[in-house]
Structure 1
Amino acid sequence: MRAFRYLFASALLLFLCLLPAQQARADQARAELVASTGKTDFAYLTPLRNGLSAITLVWSIDRPTQDRITTLTASLSSIVSGGTSSRSPYEISTFLRLKGVRQNISSNGSNLLLTISAPEDVFPETLVHLENLLLKPEYSKGWYARELQEISPENSSKTRRPSDVLDEVSYLLAFEPDDAATVESYGQFRFGRPSQAILRSGDPKVERRATQLINKLPKAKVEWEWPFASWANALTGIEKHPFALPTGTIHFADPNST
């Protein structure tokens, strides 16, 4: 009888430990996928002169309203800092600090940008870290709520601060008006294949590793097309269309870049 009670208690404890992970996977499965439906446009720029390598992932936002950009930014910020299946938030913070990795999230018009830079010698493992962030994110509702509160614009009519007035005006000029005031729930977004990837490394191994990372990310669903159409596009070179990089990703003229 005592052995049975011990086995029952052990099974119950194991179930309770696995419950949060199962809930996190269920939330991730229900989340909206932010991803490109086609191939990612790659741009390879010359390496930075300070010994750093950098990669910028760009996701195009179909409805760039103020609320949507804010919730997307909060969700992406939670993903890059809130832990993975193999690393806690504290371990991620320690890794970034010891390796000299910097992460920056910004929005520009209808684009959401994630830039990660690191010294050249640790950049390959930084790409592995980025892969785990995007494919195996685990963060709590509280973490997402804190990120959302931190980046949400303050109501200038309550704070009476001129800076908050300017923030509200800039949001009105930058984003489309919202049809209704909505608050996105926790676990609303997953980030898959970006529309663009901008790499500054110059190392062929790093370029191959970055391509492998992009190919592992899921694409958004698209209506089925005849295989002949995609074959014809590849044959005629239609898929190789010119594209413009988001404003702010290049800070000086770079004639040697592709």
Structure 2
Amino acid sequence: MQLSFAFLTLLGLVVASPTVEKRAQPAGIDVSNFQPTINWATVKANGISFAYIKATEGTTYTSPSFSSQYTGSYNQNITRGAYHFAHPNSSSGATQANYFLAHGGGWSADGRTLPGALDIEYNPSGATCYGLSQAAMVSWIKDFSNTYQAKTTRFPVIYTTTDWWTQCTGNSAAFASTNPLWLARYASSVGTLPAGWSYETFWQHSDNASPNPGDADIFNGDAAGLARMAKGS
């Protein structure tokens, strides 16, 4: 993702990767153009069950690696989904959702494609909350989410941190009943969740998935549950 090492250090989020005790929980990775060449057969052999792959950012960027990563993971029977890095200060939520959908962010009920994810987090190049009020941020996310759902029948997964969500949405509980939570927290546990969510669907627990590329994630469930999520059942 886009969380800088310096900023994570400031928040006390950079720690040693946790030892995951629930080994039955499917392991995943998330990648972007920072990992342009990936041997997906090796990733599969290493036990990775799912991957989220960056497709777009704002309305001006599409990852040049997305197509090969999205197809390569699928060809190795890795359940995969696309994600969009939001810039709420540059255009509406609906505009960015449509851009995401037009550049690989869709969903199909093939049992191997996860719903698209909205990466909404710290601004990498300006004000933390992109200059939006908490109410305006909630409205922007609803605009993105509702547009995506109208086009795909699925609400997007929301990737965030509890700290950012609290600061920039006022810890809104408006999405907990519709949008799966993908929580980023580099610690030994997920810690406090944003308001409304009683559990996380995905947990990004480390920015180092070695020996695999990208960041390390866990699905909160079993393989059958991951398949059900992909299928939309």
Task: Give TM-score scaled by structure 2 length.
Answer: 0.26
Rg comparison, structure with higher value = 1
Task: Answer 1 or 2: higher relative contact order, Cα 8 Å, separation at least 6.
Answer: 1
Relative to its length, the structure with more helix (as a share) is 1
Task: Give TM-score scaled by structure 1 length.
Answer: 0.24
